[in-house]
Amino acid sequence: MRQVTRRELLGMGLTGGAAAVLAGCTTPGTTSVNAQPVVPAAASGEKVTLTYWAWLKDLQKVADIWNAKHPDVQVEVSWIQGGNDGGYQKLYSALAAGGGPDLAQVEMRTIPEFMLVNGLVDLRRYGIDEHEARFDPTLWSQVSYAGGVYGVPQDSGPTGLYHRPDLYEQAGVPVPTTWTQWAEVAPAIRDVGAYIDAFPLDDTSVFAGHAMQAGATWLRATEDGWVIDMAGEATLDVARFFDAAIDDDLVTTSTNPFTPGWYAAAAHDKIASLVGASWGDALLQSVSGSEGKWRVAPAPRWDHGYGSSFIGGSTAAVLANSAHPREAMEFAVWMTTSREGIDAMIEHSGIGWSPARDYIGASREGPSEYFGGQRYNTEVFQPASKDQNPDWQWWPITQQTFNILGDGFRRKATGGTLVDAVVAAEQQTIDVFRQKGLTIRKAEGR
């Protein structure tokens, strides 16, 4: 038999490598991990190391508490960029390459996007149901799709009305409890040189929050496909309301909450209030010289719908290529629902609102020095977290819909309306769904 020369070997290696590269070019994410057999739990005594990619800071300190108690299941945390700033890109490429961590921080609204690339493990197959009672039911429904559960809720943010009592007093108007009242007092706030709020034209998650609060459900997953009701009456009412507010110069659109311009305006007493999520409390403290000036009230109500909405929120999701999904899920449940886990996540990582049903975190129960001694968490946000739209769900192209809507909202500056943008965004969302082959139809009665 003829021997193979080194050069030929090299040649074969290169050809093989090139073939492998080309084979790897088929569009990834086309097989489902949830159709494969369940991965059994690790045998007792077996050492398991879990990896968790998240953008929360100092999360390793939280994992260390677990690690000290569970010598067989060690968790290593790696920091990634937040969500669409680079973290998801990294996760998607790791998944496409057949790797990735056991756990990853994935926002509620991004869960369906990861499902679209078959990136997540259905935790019901690993017994998440027994823990359901420990989680907030609204957030639970935001991770439940098509009969499965695809992430462990990690944090969220019920909305409230942050406001400056001194500016309201100067304007001689009460802090509004309804949106109608909000629109009535806003001109008086303008008269003292401030805005009642900033309306972000490009970050539509805030607008989605308002629509959610008004009782809208933009998309629903049903057995025979998606049902869209984005341009329904509830949402159009909200759009008309803010169209008028912007036209009457009641809100500023030139700067978004928690951006440099907004901080500067807030420091100069030009922002009197802000409807924002509970995690805004930490951001608000970056406003220079604001200590003791702000208070929190319940969000204004629409004449239908709910008392509050959830803005933001993330999960710890078990990724498709995890070798130990059961252990990963158990760690995630411990981290998000045990008292020590929640307290450590608040202390080290500064998480938003805890998704646990009956514990908000020890440090959040007392009065807050920054808010002038107000017990704002138990007074405002705890009731707000119970008064939520339970039907809201996210969809596989949430980010794209938000961008389309944001691009439409920007035309407000050049004569467009929010109403037109909502109607157009609904149609474009339908188009993108169909282009991907997904079934979608408009809600009945429209």
By the criterion CB under 8 A, which residues form the site for another protein? 2-3, 5-6, 14, 18, 21-22, 25-27, 29-30, 32, 34, 84, 88-89, 92, 112-113, 115-118, 145-146, 200-202, 221, 225-226, 253-256, 259-261, 264-265, 267-268, 396-397, 399-400, 403, 406-407, 410, 413-414, 435-439
Q: What minimum distance in Å lies between the beta carbon of 440 and another protein?
A: 10
Q: What minimum distance in Å lies between the beta carbon of 54 and another protein?
A: 19
23 vs 43, beta carbon nearer another protein: 23
203 vs 347, beta carbon nearer another protein: 203
Spatial separation of the C-alpha atoms in residues 403 and 84, rounded to whole Å: 12
50 vs 230, beta carbon nearer another protein: 230
Tokens of residue 386, six digits: 């119970």
CB-based contacts of 222, cutoff 8 Å, min separation 6: none
Q: What minimum distance in Å lies between the beta carbon of 3 and another protein?
A: 6
83 vs 276, beta carbon nearer another protein: 83
Alpha helices (runs of H) in 97-133, residue ranges in sequence order: 111-116
359: left (phi over 0), alpha (psi -120 to 50) or beta: beta
Spatial separation of the C-alpha atoms in residues 145 and 141, rounded to whole Å: 8
* DSSP of 31-64: S-GGGSPPPPPPPTT--EEEEEEE-STTHHHHHH
Which amino acid is present at 26? T
3 vs 44, beta carbon nearer another protein: 3
CB-based contacts of 341, cutoff 8 Å, min separation 6: 62, 65, 66, 334, 335
Burial of 296-308, coded b for 16+ CB within 10 Å and e otherwise, reads bbbbbbbeebbbb
Spatial separation of the C-alpha atoms in residues 143 and 240, rounded to whole Å: 31
59 vs 91, beta carbon nearer another protein: 91
Q: What minimum distance in Å lies between the beta carbon of 369 and another protein?
A: 27
Q: What minimum distance in Å lies between the beta carbon of 260 and another protein?
A: 5
Q: What minimum distance in Å lies between the beta carbon of 348 and another protein?
A: 26
For the beta carbon of residue 201, count every other beta carbon within 10 angstroms.
24
Q: What minimum distance in Å lies between the beta carbon of 15 and another protein?
A: 12
222 vs 363, beta carbon nearer another protein: 222
Q: What minimum distance in Å lies between the beta carbon of 199 and another protein?
A: 10
Q: What minimum distance in Å lies between the beta carbon of 366 and another protein?
A: 34
Alpha helices (runs of H) in 58-178, residue ranges in sequence order: 59-69, 87-96, 111-116, 137-141, 165-171
268 vs 339, beta carbon nearer another protein: 268
> By three-state DSSP, how is residue 145 classified?
strand
255 vs 368, beta carbon nearer another protein: 255
> By three-state DSSP, how is residue 146 classified?
coil
- Whose tokens are 């500067």? That residue is 264
Q: What minimum distance in Å lies between the beta carbon of 33 and another protein?
A: 11
34 vs 382, beta carbon nearer another protein: 34
For the beta carbon of residue 35, count every other beta carbon within 10 angstroms.
8
145 vs 334, beta carbon nearer another protein: 145
What is each CA distance from 421 to 60, 234, 252, 392, 401, in whole angstroms?
Answer: 43, 15, 19, 21, 11
Burial of 336-346, coded b for 16+ CB within 10 Å and e otherwise, reads bbbeebbbbbb
Tokens of residue 310, six digits: 């959830």
Tokens of residue 43, six digits: 């045998």
C-beta of residue 362 within 8 angstroms of C-beta of residue 343: yes
Q: What minimum distance in Å lies between the beta carbon of 18 and another protein?
A: 8
